[in-house]
Amino acid sequence: MNKKNVLVVDDSAFMRKMISDIINTSSTLVVMDTARNGQDALAKVKTLKPDVITLDVEMPVMDGISTLRAVMKEVPTPVVMLSSLTKSGADKTMEAMSYGAVDFIAKPSGSISLNIKDIQAEIVKKVEHATQSNYNLVTKPVPKVNNLTYKPILSSRPIVAIGSSTGGPRALQQVITQLPSSFQAPIVIVQHMPRGFTKSLAERLDKLSEVSVKEVEDGDIIEKGKVYLAPGGKQFRVKEVNQQFVAEVNQEQPVNGHQPAVDVLFESISQLRNCHPLSVILTGMGSDGARGIIELKKKHPRTITISQSKETCVVYGMPQSAEKTSLVDYVEDLENISEVLVQKIPKKR
């Protein structure tokens, strides 16, 4: 089997060696070369044409963001960012995701992580997945929304629940930033992401959107026209208290490897009595959310379920698993999903 070629980019010689050794343990990957900064990397990408790049966020001469933008413009290639767990690192990583990075890896202990081997399995898995991703979406022009016509739902208590994973930050930006400030439903989201990064994602979406976006906290009242993002490392549920939707956020055990998990959020909404759920499954690896869709449809047969089309997914795993339940009502290109939601939710009378 032909192995996929990887270019490792990091300003630390130690990190280049450690990351290369980790990647070379994969049966499907081989490190073809390394680069010490973005300028060096860009020259090597043009000549070597790697299948995937691991790219440090913080580098001298030409940083990771500038390098990513240049790569996507000149030689589009799947990129996995490596970031420190600082606030600055998280903010820059979310920016990188919006420019087309497939995924990111959080270094466990700063820019030079002596314990990088602790996340060996995660590094190998994410780089392997990147080689299978539909990364070139970022270079395609965004198509105009079709002339969609959907009947609005009749319930007075709609709630939108969204699940996403690999490629999700960019997909969420596409959906959430297109919603009007007058949107008449609350939106609750699980995006697979480690702690620290979800807050940066929420802040970025909030700055770019008409609706307000926050990282949800335990006890928050879930209000219409507002977006609540599950914090990394905690499970997020919605419960009903005194006829209000209220957030329940706890650190628990992962469910099928995920914390937060889409299934946990969706299943909690299935237990609400007076509501009309709209569930949305965006790009992501795996099958999280499929079981939750089954529970939603069982308890609330009028639940509307939307999945992102294969053609617009960075990774088609989660939407494909949702569609295999035969309970998905609409398969839509990413660019159309916000319009479907707007048409489905009745406007304020």
Catalytic-role residue among 165, 200, 287, 338: 165
Is 181 one of the annotated active-site residues of the chain?
no
- How far is 155 from 277, CA to CA, in rounded Å? 10
Q: Burial level of 219, CB count in 10 A (0-12/13-18/19+)?
A: exposed
Residue 155 sits at φ, ψ, to 5 deg, of: -65, 145
Closest by CA position to 51, among listed 136, 154, 138: 136
Catalytic-role residue among 84, 103, 288, 307: 288
Identify the residue whose tokens are 């490190």: 31
Could you give the angle at the alpha carbon of 170 between the alpha carbons of 166 and 176, nearest 5°?
A: 120
- How far is 249 from 14, CA to CA, in rounded Å? 39
Is 11 one of the annotated active-site residues of the chain?
no
Catalytic-role residue among 129, 192, 276, 300: 192
Helix (H) or strand (E) holding 342: helix 334-344
- Bridging pattern class, strands 235-241 and 244-250: antiparallel
Is 129 one of the annotated active-site residues of the chain?
no
Q: Which amino acids are annotated catalytic?
A: 165, 192, 288
